[in-house]
């Protein structure tokens, strides 16, 4: 589904990603872990198409298409969904309006008619139930005055609405208490199918108790320096990142 080859990216001439290689197949869950500043969030931004970062080398193919050639909105319409670490507040724009606009743009891209108002509301209702989001959150303006947990739940709700092929969860666990974490993780698990894939970017192992990864990659200084199964996450939790840094420096 996703093939990343020798990906280099920089911001303000500072190289953050220095040769990432990664292949993700449908149905898989990949965790990307690593110390602060390793480039985890940069990777997710680059994949979603944030033009703050400049890709200097490498290729990314998504279902056979050159992902890097597409603007962010087309990447989203192709099925890439980035769950933001810091979702943006948009006062005055209702969730309903926002979701309808986004969903219909996806449909247009895929040569589908816009959803009727009643079908759309039904879909909102179904997905809300699926991800256990409070029904009154969707009556408010996008993320306005939402707590940290509410914002993250709202991201998962949007992911459900837009029916992604590849979900990139950027530090979705940060700032969540254990109950909110469980709800968010349950939402992600329910949305998982054999046809879609998930990248979980996290600093801590705890989220991976709930969203169990098939692979764990350790990102350090802009490269994937170690790959293993879910037990690698436990090892990192126990020993920290120092041994990896050390291994890498040596």
Partner 1 sequence: MNITCRVVNLQEEYTALFDEHLSTLQAGAPDKMNALRLEAMESFKKLGIPSNKVEDYKYSNLQPFFKGDFNLALSNDAAQAGVTATFNCEVPALNTYNIFMVNGWYSHQNDISLLPKGVIVGSLLEKAKENPALFEKYYGTRTPIGSDGLAAMNTAFAQDGAFVYIPKGVVVDKPIQIVNIMTGDSDRLVFQRNLIIADENSQLKVMLCEHTLSTQKYVINTVTELFANEHSILDMYNIQNQHNFTTQVAGYYASQKKHTVLQTNHLTLHAGFARNNIKIKMDDEFCESHMNGLYLLDKNQHVDNFTFVDHAYPNCVSHELFKGVMDDSSVGCFTGKVLVRKDAQKTNAYQSNNNLILCESAKMNTKPQLEIYADDVKCSHGATIGQLDDDAMFYLRARGINPSEARILLMYAFAYEVLEKIKVEALKEQIKGLTERRFRGDFDKCDSCVACGADGQMSCG
Contact residues for partner 1, defined by CB under 8 A: 48-52, 71-73, 75-77, 82, 84, 86-88, 90-93, 98, 101-102, 105-106, 109, 141, 158, 162
Residue 1 Cβ, how far from partner 1 at the closest point, in Å? 18
Of 48 and 244, which CB lies nearer to partner 1 in the complex structure?
Answer: 48
Residue 46 Cβ, how far from partner 1 at the closest point, in Å? 12
| Phi and psi, residue 188, nearest 5° | -60, -45
Of 21 and 141, which CB lies nearer to partner 1 in the complex structure?
Answer: 141
Residue 58 Cβ, how far from partner 1 at the closest point, in Å? 21
Residue 176 Cβ, how far from partner 1 at the closest point, in Å? 19
DSSP 8-state code for residue 115: P
Beta strands in 65-209 (DSSP E): 65-66, 80-83, 90-94, 141-142, 166-170, 197-201
Of 201 and 216, which CB lies nearer to partner 1 in the complex structure?
Answer: 201
Of 53 and 241, which CB lies nearer to partner 1 in the complex structure?
Answer: 53
Q: Per this entry, what is the length of the chain?
A: 250
**CA angle centred on 195, ends 156 and 41, rounded to 5°:** 45
How many Å apart are CA 10 and CA 115, to the nearest integer?
A: 40
Among candidate residues 134, 129, 132, 45, the one with its CA nearest the CA of residue 95: 134
């Amino acid at each position: 589904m996703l093939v990343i080859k020798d990906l280099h990216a920089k911001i303000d001439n500072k190289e953050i990603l220095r040769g990432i290689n990664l292949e993700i197949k449908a149905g898989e869950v990949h965790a990307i872990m690593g110390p602060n500043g390793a480039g985890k969030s940069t990777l997710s931004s680059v994949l979603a198409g944030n033009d703050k970062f400049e890709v200097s080398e490498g290729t990314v193919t998504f279902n056979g298409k050159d992902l890097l050639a597409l603007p962010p909105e087309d990447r989203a319409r192709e099925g890439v969904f980035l769950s933001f670490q810091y979702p943006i507040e948009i006062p005055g724009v209702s969730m309903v309006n926002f979701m309808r606009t986004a969903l219909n743009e996806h449909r247009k891209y895929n040569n589908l008619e816009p959803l009727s108002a009643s079908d759309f509301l039904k879909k909102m209702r179904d997905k809300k139930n699926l991800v256990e989001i409070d029904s009154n959150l969707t009556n408010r303006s996008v993320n306005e005055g939402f707590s940290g947990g509410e914002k993250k739940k709202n991201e998962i709700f949007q992911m459900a609405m837009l029916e992604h092929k590849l979900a990139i969860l950027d530090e979705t666990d940060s700032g969540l208490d254990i109950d909110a974490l469980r709800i968010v993780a349950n939402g992600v698990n329910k949305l998982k199918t054999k046809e879609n894939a998930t990248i979980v970017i996290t600093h801590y192992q705890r989220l991976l108790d709930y969203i169990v990864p098939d692979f764990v990659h350790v990102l350090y200084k802009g490269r994937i320096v170690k790959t293993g199964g879910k037990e690698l996450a436990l090892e990192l939790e126990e020993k920290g990142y120092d041994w990896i840094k050390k291994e890498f420096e040596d």
